[in-house]
Amino acid sequence: MLKVFLPFLKKILILLALLFLPYLAFAYEDQTEKRLNLWPFFVYSKHKPKNLTRIELLGPFISKTSSPKEESFSLRPIYSSVKEIKDNKTIEKRAYFISPLGLYRENEEEIRFKLIPLVDKSIKKDPSENEGQKWDFFPFFAGKTVNNETYGGVFPIYGIYKERFGAKEISFFLWPLYSRVSYDNYTAYNIIWPFIRVAKPTNNEDKTYGGFKFWPFYGHFKEGEEERKFILWPFYISYYYQDDTGNFVKRRYFFPFYMKEDTESYEKRIYLWPFFQKVCGFDPPYYQLDAPWPFYRKIKGEDIEGKRYWPIYGYVSKPDSKEFFILWPFYFYREDWYNSTKSSTVENEVRFLLFSKSYEEKTNGTLTKSEFRLWPLYYSYHQYVSPKQEAFYFPAILPFFDEGMERNYGPLLKLYEAYSKEDYTFSKALFGFYRHEKFGRRNVVELAFLLRYIDDEHTHYVEFLEGLIGWGLIDGKKLIKVLYIPIQLTPQSPTTEGN
């Protein structure tokens, strides 16, 4: 469904940008860049050699960037998307909405759609399969399968999808009032989703597929060897399914009084969730007891040992890592070791004062990465090996890094931010009122529409009020601007054609 919304949100940026197209005639331009700054309403820049374009509307609320390696779009604080590109081919697409609740991710291996707490579904892709053709412009969509079967519709009024989202066919009418989803072995009918669902096998003689639910009162489904059942959800839930490793898992919950989980490799029992828990593993041997959680925990296994007397002291020790805390959340320490035939890497992480942390990574004794967060005041990141990168901003309101939350909320919460990668540096303050970009020897400084200063090997130029008045050297030519009109002071050299 997110594929329908994605083009629509991007069209918002395009339509708003069209309002400012006439102003591009007065934009600053030289052989390297074209720039227009009408902050906070509209900001545009294009670096020609690097093919890097940046558009911002309404300060930090709407933005779009594109480069040969990545394209991104944000309609903050609701939605953000990013597309990774390699050799002119899309490697992965990610979209975040109402972060951290919503996620859509698609790459060559799988499609994942998550909307907490309703949906969390992953669909594995077969690289040999052709997806056919598809077109979306919200609320309209259309497409054609590899077998030349056409489909389309207007969401949420009426429509049909074919060979999309892991199903053979999806049809809907006034969604979520009614929808039908057809798979290889069964067809599911949803009425006022997610409350009523009826699943019927494709072959009426096949009793291994089918089911019914009237959520939250009762539900029972069978899919081959897997079976799910609930009564007065979440008070009674029963699952029997195959996990990613191929092992079958049997779960039965009498929530919150008693919960059991049995597999071929371990048994788990929970009493009065989440306070009392016991886990016994068979291969490898493992024992864990929480009594009661989170105050006391004992862990004993083949390559693991730990104890916890929360919040005073606790530790976990493994052959390749160790961690412990003292007076949680005031101090926590973790160390990991990674060894190979060519290198040895050590990661150290210290967390203090709940969300503050210091992190270092060393390879063969050389510092390669570092990260420091003093929540909620300050954050910095350094990567010391190629490609060298740095990041710094304040305040650091978000307590931890999550790409969706960072893209959707981060620019709304920072008074100053700076980022650099190799020879490129970008910084801005007060949500873009001040901005500074550096490409190698080239420096660009802007104060909204009030001031622009550009300096590189062939350009030394300053202008006010977006070119109302300006003077200096542009591409080696002296000129002045008066009332947005450029007047060249260096006469052009005469050219000679032929002999």
The lowest-confidence range among 91-100, 125-134, 275-284 is 125-134
In this structure, are residues 151 and 175 in contact, taking their beta carbons and an 8 Å threshold?
Answer: no
Report the share of the chain in percent with pLDDT over 90: 58
Residue 6 main-chain phi, psi, to 5 deg: -55, -55
In this structure, are residues 417 and 430 in contact, taking their beta carbons and an 8 Å threshold?
Answer: no
Report the share of the chain in percent with pLDDT over 70: 90
pLDDT at 166 over 80: no
Give residue 224's pLDDT.
87
Give residue 2's pLDDT.
44
Three-state DSSP at 435 gives strand
Q: Kind and range of the H or E element at 13? A: helix 2-18
Tokens read off for 44: 């545009």
Tokens read off for 39: 């902050």
Tokens 């999808």 correspond to what residue? Answer: 161
The rounded mean pLDDT for the chain is: 88
The closest of 265, 235, 233, 269 to 251, measured between CA atoms, is 269
In this structure, are residues 330 and 313 in contact, taking their beta carbons and an 8 Å threshold?
Answer: no
User: CA 189, CA 88: separation in Å to the nearest integer?
Assistant: 40
State the average pLDDT over residues 267-274.
95
Tokens read off for 194: 């997610």
pLDDT at 136 over 70: no
In this structure, are residues 470 and 464 in contact, taking their beta carbons and an 8 Å threshold?
Answer: yes
Tokens read off for 237: 């839930």
In this structure, are residues 85 and 93 in contact, taking their beta carbons and an 8 Å threshold?
Answer: no
User: CA 384, CA 361: separation in Å to the nearest integer?
Assistant: 10
Give residue 4's pLDDT.
45
Query: 348-356, long-range: CB within 8 Å, 24+ apart, which pairs?
Result: 353/329, 354/329, 354/399, 355/399, 355/400
The closest of 129, 173, 169, 180 to 154, measured between CA atoms, is 173
Pick the residue with more confidence: 125 or 275?
275
pLDDT tens string 40-57: 999 999 999 889 999 999
State the average pLDDT over residues 251-272.
95
The closest of 488, 421, 428, 423 to 461, measured between CA atoms, is 488
Give residue 222's pLDDT.
92
pLDDT at 499 over 50: no
pLDDT tens string 420-452: 988 899 999 999 999 999 998 999 999 999 999
Give residue 133's pLDDT.
73
The pTM assigned to this predicted structure is 0.70
The closest of 456, 462, 450, 464 to 438, measured between CA atoms, is 456
N-term to C-term CA, the chain: 67
Reported as a pLDDT band with limits 50, 70 and 90, residue 5 is very low
Ordered DSSP codes for 354-382: TTEEEEEEEETTEEEEEEEEETTTEEEEE
Pick the residue with more confidence: 436 or 492?
436
pLDDT at 160 over 90: yes
CA distances from 173 to 151, 181, 191, 200, 211 (A): 14, 12, 10, 19, 22
Give residue 498's pLDDT.
43
Residues 6+ apart with CB under 8 A from 115: 101, 102
Give residue 143's pLDDT.
85
Tokens read off for 83: 């597309």
